[in-house]
Structure 1
């Protein structure tokens, strides 16, 4: 089917879903405005409309990318294109709401009416003061690009990219709300990120599924079954993250006595009702859809659930506008205010090993990655397939290294001291990626996940293959790009001023850790990775790429040790840690750690390379032996015949003897048998 045919066949019929959504958004907006009241009611109404458009955009892209299959050519099918077109319109509303949120947020923060900011010059003067207004501006830029992409792309690969962009567009506002300030803002921000992403996937995915059912789209049973699994995970994530976020913002004794606490209770009750109600309805609706292929039952059962979800969005918008209670809460210390928690004292070995503060983002992600990998190993062994123990050990150790670097005392002191930060940086960028690539996660996924089969819609295994062979993976694993990305990040982050700006923001710490891991992984993947890399290097090329990075690491450490200025000095001076009398000395210690940290990874990489080369030579030798056994040593005989012809033309040439089979002790084909008494194996002259 051509792109023109896809577009023409994807024109959805009138479904009656748009009036239902309009009513739901209106109810949610009125509910939120009534709960907040006063001048802020306008801001809350804009937030409800904007967030409704955001979840519709994300849900539609989720449907197009993962719930309905594309054509065999990789182009979206008619159902995927219809969802993509819905995302295009919803993203325009999202953009408009983000733009309107900028003046509304500024007016609310300054306590002035919106009319006072109609003069753009006044607005631009004060917009930089309010952090969340800047976040809305960033969101507007991202969503404009998203809307443009939804209008231009038609392939499944680029639709998947747009889906992840839409999820990322939630981040700027999420990390600048109530959760980003005060004590425990690291835990509050991390839990809120989980909460918002799960809510967007759940609510938006259900709306997109209903629209797909009303269109009588193809593969409805597959889409409903896949979404049912996603919805269950999202509900669990929302429940856990919501409890964690409320716990760090609200004392338990004020749960029933404060407006914030009552809104938390109302939202919790709505989520519990949605979880039970949605599970019962989808359990019945999915079975009927799979059995009959009709979406009427699913639409009839889930329509009320959508209205409840939109009402929950209204409660969430009111909750975001309502500040947490401050009665009975002590003011956070300067250290707690800047990094989210207090430090017990000097980072001794005991505190580094045992004073943990669990990182909800990286700790949860990599513990889950270890568990999923072990489940894959169990699946392989249950069906009789072997999997090297060394790969399992490497992967688990890599995951635990990330958890230790982000959640142990090392992760706890990392935001406050440059030397400790550099230790965590080296673990995340140089040791953890080595262990992770040796675990061969792609090979594990391809062997453990079921094959979709010819004529069936692509599943997770096909998605992994598409990711590995994608243009992005090929560019990132290009040797020159990987080297520049890996080495350049050291200089680009610390010597450009980015690190100074990032120190004051928790989201920037999350981004730095992600960058360290990704830069290390794409560098070591083509060097020692067991998984086939998009860009394959010869053995000497691997060794050359490894040694090419060493001088840059050493020079980076030397520059830090000899620098006469402090990187991030404003941030570290405001912390005023009594056990760091000299920030410059602490920075020079960090430089020494960076300089010396390259030795251990180099040793691990060299051992891994030697082991891989030895196994490769052994496999080549065994292949040659099997070929010789199969053809009677034809290659060796031909080689000896060539030598005899050369000897006949002049000169003496030694004829090659076949190698003895070291495993059996027998000579190869054509070998002369030992004469008695000459010391041949088993002969009379033995011993």
Structure 2
């Protein structure tokens, strides 16, 4: 049973007096989005299906798929935006409860989540029929749908997103705690991704770039549009803190515009090769770029001026919101047409096996020179490495500007950790990691051991707590409070237990490589990305909990940390022995399917990878032992000094 709703005597129905209603703009934008979807889908005819090799399923099925996609995207944006508003734009009450403004945003997000889930469930049926060239109206049976669900990836993706959306609908209805909204916001962003990861961007050459770029693109678009929904609703009910809400929305919209522009350019360059920009798909891309430029160059700069000059902040927020909403909805309608038209690179029949599996070719043997020079930037983790280094440097600069010192060694350690992350994912090591097991284990060690250790020694949580300002009284929480909300959460306390962190770190080795799971993971780019994120995250958790140099949710005794480290060493050594003793290559079918022009003996590469994993895993453990023993010695020395001082104090008091 949900708790009673908080009440507020500030809420009013309708827009502030003297401001043109936003609703007509929204209705016009929605009507144009629907019209564009219908025109673009019907205008494409049956040529699209003929090129892909299956029959036209008919207008009802085609329109059903794309109009449901429109509902799916709008509802997903509404859910994500409501959660973002509740988590980042409102002032929590005492005890961590959401405010009335946050509660209103949560309820809106919950309603959108139910619509989102319903659209996803229907899409799993319509898209299955559309992909099979079968009309839904011809009587798609349950057995037929289940067969298509097993054979096709897209219906599975819609079903997964729908399931997550329905979970969000239940959670938004039942939760009233601010900290929970942070977790639900992350879940809502992830729920948008499954259809993207199996769509047009995930096929053919360059799909590693295209799928990562489209993931950024879709989340940024949903975040911008959904937060705009929430801000309009907040202004219409005349909620609290209009100045702060307007300022944060300006920053969020500007950031989303930059992400949309960069990711859109990258994705378009991959999906539309040079010389094909005048085709149907290329023309839609150009129209979308024009609208994006119009929104960015007009609304983003003008919003600051309008909100500052308006005597009523609510009136200022709503003045440009209607036109901005209409433009974003029209852009979404063009996106629906692009989803129906296959991009030119999908029709490239010259793609190699490595193009289809990993997204690019590797014509040369991975010698030392290739590992150093063969760079291919990882849009997710490579970008994370660069952004984390910049943010850390800004934090140190801020401390120095306030006359505070920060140890140089910590800065060097953090920047070295970011460099290790960049090398492991974007250098020749990252490029060749999917192609041979020995290089993969090198990247694994960099992501799972060396990189996290260096990052933890940089003590970023302590830096953030010193550099970030506190939120003012009565103001929405800022980055410092968001960080504390995560670090001090029960989930973080549970995950940072050294025993659980050790199981997450070493357990992945035994679950991934000897079981056949590694072969399944390497066949999909999104699964490979999740694996790398898991390596980095589990390594961070272990070193964060065991080294004890940064702010953590729990304080672990020194002896317990030593015991956990000593227990990890034989577990890592046994894994190396296990892989060395295996009689068959790990992921043999995957490596042979790559069909690379150079050949590597799979067993030799596997044994080299086992030795790298064995020796490379033991060295960081020895370094951790040295650090822990030094900490223990220092603590005992401090205790001895304290005892001596106490003894001398007692002697002096006795003499007097």
How many angstroms apart in 2 are the aligned matches of 1:338 and 1:196? Answer: 23
Structure 1 residues 260 and 131: CA distance shift in structure 2, 3 A: same
> 119, 136, 141: which is aligned to 1:119?
141
Cα offset for 1:101?
A: 1.1
**8 Å contact 1:487–1:553 — kept in the other structure?**
yes
Partner of 2:108: 86
Partner of 2:367: 348
Structure 1 residues 610 and 130: CA distance shift in structure 2, 3 A: same
Asked if residue 139 in structure 1 is aligned to residue 154 in structure 2, the reply is no
Partner of 1:635: 650
Partner of 1:32: 37
**8 Å contact 2:88–2:476 — kept in the other structure?**
no
> 201, 209, 217: which is aligned to 1:195?
217
Structure 1 residues 396 and 61: CA distance shift in structure 2, 3 A: same
1:53-202 equivalences in 2 (<5 Å): 53-202=75-224
CA distances 1:227-277 after superposition (whole Å, capped 9, x unpaired):
111111110111011001000111222212x00110000000010001012
TM-score by length of 2: 0.92
Structure 1 residues 581 and 408: CA distance shift in structure 2, 3 A: closer
Partner of 2:627: 608
Partner of 2:316: 297
**8 Å contact 2:363–2:596 — kept in the other structure?**
no
Tell me, what secondary structure is at the counterpart of 2:205? coil
Partner of 1:324: 343
Structure 1 residues 367 and 615: CA distance shift in structure 2, 3 A: farther
**8 Å contact 1:69–1:458 — kept in the other structure?**
yes
Structure 1 residues 621 and 344: CA distance shift in structure 2, 3 A: farther
Asked if residue 335 in structure 1 is aligned to residue 354 in structure 2, the reply is yes
- Alignment root-mean-square deviation, CA: 2.3
How many angstroms apart in 2 are the aligned matches of 1:431 and 1:248? Answer: 33
Tell me, what secondary structure is at the counterpart of 2:150? coil
Cα offset for 1:613?
A: 4.2
Partner of 1:422: 441
**8 Å contact 2:79–2:109 — kept in the other structure?**
yes
Cα offset for 1:606?
A: 3.1
Cα offset for 1:21?
A: 3.8
> 544, 550, 575: which is aligned to 2:563?
544
Cα offset for 1:621?
A: 7.0
Partner of 2:51: none
How many angstroms apart in 2 are the aligned matches of 1:450 and 1:86? Answer: 31
Q: Which moved more, 1:390-399 or 1:22-31?
A: 22-31
1:6-17 equivalences in 2 (<5 Å): 6=6, 13=13
Q: Which moved more, 1:428-437 or 1:455-464?
A: 455-464
Highest RCO, 1 vs 2 (Cα 8 Å, sep ≥ 6): 2
Cα offset for 1:321?
A: 1.6
Partner of 1:4: 4
Partner of 1:387: 406
Asked if residue 437 in structure 1 is aligned to residue 456 in structure 2, the reply is yes
TM-score by length of 1: 0.88
Partner of 2:52: none
Cα offset for 1:636?
A: 4.5
Partner of 2:270: 248
Structure 1 residues 486 and 401: CA distance shift in structure 2, 3 A: same
CA distances 1:70-99 after superposition (whole Å, capped 9, x unpaired):
112211111100011101111111111111
Cα offset for 1:286?
A: 3.0
How many angstroms apart in 2 are the aligned matches of 1:137 and 1:5? Answer: 31
1:237-276 equivalences in 2 (<5 Å): 237-256=259-278, 258-276=279-297
Tell me, what secondary structure is at the counterpart of 2:94? coil
Asked if residue 46 in structure 1 is aligned to residue 62 in structure 2, the reply is no
Structure 1 residues 91 and 288: CA distance shift in structure 2, 3 A: farther
For structure 1, the 5+ residue unaligned runs are: 642-669, 671-687
How many angstroms apart in 2 are the aligned matches of 1:288 and 1:156? Answer: 33
How many angstroms apart in 1 are the aligned matches of 2:281 and 2:232? Answer: 33
1:283-294 equivalences in 2 (<5 Å): 283-288=304-309, 292=311, 294=313
How many angstroms apart in 1 are the aligned matches of 2:186 and 2:24? Answer: 28
Partner of 2:518: 499
Cα offset for 1:542?
A: 1.5
**8 Å contact 1:29–1:44 — kept in the other structure?**
no
**8 Å contact 2:201–2:207 — kept in the other structure?**
yes
Cα offset for 1:544?
A: 1.0
Cα offset for 1:345?
A: 1.4
Structure 1 residues 117 and 530: CA distance shift in structure 2, 3 A: farther
Cα offset for 1:3?
A: 5.1
Asked if residue 407 in structure 1 is aligned to residue 426 in structure 2, the reply is yes
Cα offset for 1:224?
A: 1.3
Alignment coverage as a number of residue pairs: 633
How many angstroms apart in 1 are the aligned matches of 2:386 and 2:307? Answer: 31
**8 Å contact 1:220–1:293 — kept in the other structure?**
no
**8 Å contact 1:11–1:82 — kept in the other structure?**
no
CA distances 1:550-570 after superposition (whole Å, capped 9, x unpaired):
111111111111012222222
CA distances 1:266-317 after superposition (whole Å, capped 9, x unpaired):
000010001012213321233246xx45412211221111011011011111
Cα offset for 1:423?
A: 1.1
1:523-538 equivalences in 2 (<5 Å): 523-538=542-557
Partner of 2:48: none
**8 Å contact 1:186–1:340 — kept in the other structure?**
yes
Q: Which moved more, 1:296-305 or 1:354-363?
A: 296-305
**8 Å contact 2:444–2:535 — kept in the other structure?**
yes
**8 Å contact 1:143–1:166 — kept in the other structure?**
yes
> 589, 593, 613: which is aligned to 1:594?
613
Cα offset for 1:612?
A: 3.7
Partner of 2:49: none
**8 Å contact 2:193–2:215 — kept in the other structure?**
yes
> 279, 284, 287: which is aligned to 2:300?
279
**8 Å contact 1:29–1:49 — kept in the other structure?**
no
**8 Å contact 1:103–1:117 — kept in the other structure?**
no
Partner of 1:372: 391
Q: Which moved more, 1:528-537 or 1:94-103?
A: 528-537
CA distances 1:604-641 after superposition (whole Å, capped 9, x unpaired):
3234334544554666677778x77xxx9423546x88
Cα offset for 1:597?
A: 0.9
Partner of 2:54: none
Asked if residue 451 in structure 1 is aligned to residue 456 in structure 2, the reply is no
Asked if residue 564 in structure 1 is aligned to residue 583 in structure 2, the reply is yes
Tell me, what secondary structure is at the counterpart of 1:247? helix
How many angstroms apart in 2 are the aligned matches of 1:250 and 1:61? Answer: 35
Partner of 1:684: none
Cα offset for 1:13?
A: 3.2
CA distances 1:144-178 after superposition (whole Å, capped 9, x unpaired):
11111111101001111111110000111111111
**8 Å contact 2:10–2:239 — kept in the other structure?**
no
Tell me, what secondary structure is at the counterpart of 1:405? helix
How many angstroms apart in 2 are the aligned matches of 1:582 and 1:463? Answer: 50
How many angstroms apart in 2 are the aligned matches of 1:576 and 1:503? Answer: 15
> 224, 227, 244: which is aligned to 2:246?
224
